[in-house]
């Protein structure tokens, strides 16, 4: 049982009596002790070795998930002639002539990189139509393809065929080499 401790303080104009008690255990601690029996208090948690293994497994699985998720944002580099595709596109020099009466498009590759596919955009009456042509234009060569006739503006975008890691072949669109065809 707590016995109060009393003392008297005297100040210049007043005097007061104060008593202090020894602090008792909090109510939460009492309830917690009543709820837990001795056998429950003696139970042990998982061993440190198992806890470490579980922690390592969780970290590895989370890092794998993040890696797979982030891989979708980072494209694999496409190589053409042992250089990045972006750099290989700089070796493409196309010229194009469009004959609107019959829809012929003549394309010459004056560069030193072969083109594997062509993206052709035709403007006619304010509307655009885009199509991909699986037409190869070798370096130093010319080809003629037929597209929609009556267009007022024709643009050609070259695509090159390169390789990703693991010898996987894939196309790369050279968006920095857009050629406007000369109307004939």
pTM: 0.55
Cβ distance 174 to 144 under 8 Å? no
CA-based radius of gyration for the chain: 40
Answer yes or no: is pLDDT of 90 > 80.
yes
Task: Dump pLDDT digits (tens) for 1-40.
Answer: 455 555 555 555 555 555 555 555 676 676 666 666 555 5
CB within 8 A of 128, min separation 6: which ones? 121, 122
- Residue 143 pairs in a beta bridge with 107
What pLDDT, on the 0 to 100 scale, is given for residue 21? 56
Q: What is the CATH number of domain 79-183?
A: 2.60.40.3970
Cα 84 to chain center, whole Å?
A: 20
The count of other CB atoms within 10 Å of the CB of residue 164 is 15
Question: DSSP states of 21-49 as a string?
Answer: -PPPPPHHHHHHHHHS-HHHHT-----HH
Domain segments of the chain: what residues?
5-71, 79-183
The count of other CB atoms within 10 Å of the CB of residue 162 is 20
């Amino acid at each position: 049982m707590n016995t109060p401790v009393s003392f008297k303080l005297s100040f210049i104009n007043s005097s007061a009596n104060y008593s202090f008690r020894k602090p008792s255990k909090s109510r939460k601690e009492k309830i917690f002790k009543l709820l837990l029996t001795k056998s429950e208090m003696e139970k042990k948690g998982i061993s440190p070795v198992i806890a470490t293994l579980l922690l390592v497994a969780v970290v590895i699985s989370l890092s794998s998930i993040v890696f797979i998720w982030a891989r979708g944002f980072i494209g694999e580099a496409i190589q053409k002639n042992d250089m990045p595709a972006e750099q290989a596109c700089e070796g493409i020099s196309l010229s194009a002539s469009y004959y609107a009466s019959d829809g012929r498009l003549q394309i010459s590759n004056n560069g030193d990189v072969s083109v594997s596919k062509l993206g052709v955009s035709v403007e006619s009456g304010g509307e655009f139509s885009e199509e991909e042509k699986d037409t190869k234009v070798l370096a130093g060569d010319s080809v003629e393809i037929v597209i929609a006739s009556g267009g007022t503006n024709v643009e050609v975008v070259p695509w090159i065929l390169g390789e990703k890691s693991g010898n996987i072949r894939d196309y790369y669109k050279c968006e920095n080499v857009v050629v406007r065809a000369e109307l004939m």
